[in-house]
Amino acid sequence: MAVQQSVGPDPYFPGNGDPRYRVHRYELTLDYRPGPNRLSGTARINAIAGRAPLSEFQLNLADFRIGRVRVDGRQPHYTHRGGKLRIRPAKPLRAGAAFTVEVHWAGNPKPVSSPWGGIGWEELEDGALVASQPVGAPSWYPCNDRPADKASYLISVTTPSAYSVVAGGRLLTRTTKASTTTWVYEQSGPTSSYLVGLAIGKYHTVLLGDPGPGGVPQHGHIPAQLLSDFSRDFARQPAMMELFQELFGPYPFDEYAVVVTDEELDVPVEAQGLSLFGANHVDGARGSERLVAHELAHQWFGNSVSIADWRHIWLNEGFAKYAEWLWSERSGGRTAQQLATASHRLLSALPQDLRLADPGRKSMFDDRLYQRGGLAVHAVRCALGDIAFFRMLRGWAALHRNGVASTATFTAHAARHAREPLDDLFQAWLYDTKLPPLPTALLHGGAADSA
């Protein structure tokens, strides 16, 4: 399906991204030296102007030294301040025209500031890690930083040969010359800028299960001392992949990788085709298994089907939360109804002032959004019954594969699978702030099952 574009600036981050054009492809050539934390890069960006002539446009890029900028091979006028690289081509670009931007930059990458602290490129004790949600991508490369602008990526990274480089996508080549190695990855699936993941460190690589003919290759990249615990904590990920393909439809990308850093992370972070975990998420006792399921589910919900803008983040987190419950239910743990009951009890004791469909920037990562999002999905399941619900879910993932969607898109889609109107359900769960009653139903039956 063609990627849909949202119109206008993102209401939560109006300074990020430029809706006047869209990017088709990024080709990034990077050189990184971990010791001095030195990054130099070249970006070749293939883009298409929007419906109006483009006399100027902007990319988001943090405080690096700019060495060269070209638009279609010609030198433009540009300014770079406040995280914005404003470019005025020598000649305005006509509406709908394809154009190419080339940017050279260098410096010491660091996280960009946000309401949640520094995000993006993080220098580790021995390597680096990129976790960009929601606006950290400009911490390491120039981009049109808005979730609706999805592009393919070719990423080449040169580092000292002692280090491994892991990026989302397929490893095309690994070439060693003298003391450095160049790793080249291709991510052909349309990818939001915040979902471009990268890890540089001293990792051992293991295969998670045997994908077999037509299966999904799954790899883990882990520090040596965590290999034993990792082998237990992630042992059931291949079974999760099998279950989620049954419930959600085919895995939407070529491969899936997980990286465990040698340092602690507050929470794991999803990237396209890649999830990043901290050493604290590996305990040898499957203590974080629900998070393994959560991050894998994001490959369908958030990465393949992306949000039109950040108001709709519940579509990412609510479905990933519900995937945790589905995994628990199907793997011998607590049922979705039991987990929904616990979640509802938790929320009932907390302030009820969060509007799920538009939580505001301050609350977009509030735990209540995750919990209420999971409950909202459960309420839809209860209303539809299992057969119609999972048909609806697979249809959602298929119809919007590699595209973007909004809350209104989802509610219209779900309504088509219901025998009775869902307006009141969606009003209560998505738009009102008061917590609705706990949804209950006979999940393996129901009037809507034959819909």
Residues 6+ apart with CB under 8 A from 306: 147, 148, 150, 192, 195, 403, 404, 405
**Interstrand relation of 198-201 and 204-207 (parallel, antiparallel or unpaired):** unpaired
Of 208, 198, 59, the residue nearest 127 (C-alpha):
198
| Cα distance between residue 259 and residue 210, in whole Å | 18
For residue 298, say whether it is annotated as part of any ligand binding site. yes
Partners of residue 156 on adjacent β-strands: 29, 184
| Cα distance between residue 126 and residue 399, in whole Å | 42
Angle, in degrees to the nearest 10, between helices 237-248 and 314-330 = 110
Partners of residue 221 on adjacent β-strands: 205, 259
Q: Are 61 and 145 in contact (CB under 8 A)?
A: no
| Cα distance between residue 394 and residue 251, in whole Å | 11
For residue 420, say whether it is annotated as part of any ligand binding site. no
Q: How far is CA 449 from CA 327, 385, 388, 393, 420, in A?
A: 21, 5, 5, 13, 12
Paired tokens of 98: 């394809």
| Cα distance between residue 438 and residue 73, in whole Å | 60
Strand arrangement, sheet containing 38-49:
65-71, 98-107, 38-49, 21-33, 151-160, 180-191, 170-177
| Cα distance between residue 268 and residue 199, in whole Å | 13
Q: CA-CA-CA-CA torsion for 319, 321, 325, 326, nearest 10 degrees?
A: 30
Q: What's 250's DSSP letter?
A: S
Q: What's the angle, vertex CA 111, arms to CA 140 and CA 124, rounded to 5? A: 90
DSSP assignment of 293-328 equals: HHHHHTTTBTTTBEESSGGGTHHHHHHHHHHHHHHH
| Cα distance between residue 83 and residue 89, in whole Å | 19
Q: Which residue has the tokens 């399921």?
A: 293
Q: 447 by DSSP, 3-state: which? A: helix
| Cα distance between residue 9 and residue 15, in whole Å | 8
Amino acid at 76: P
Binding-site positions:
294, 298, 317
Binding-site positions for Zn(2+):
294, 298, 317
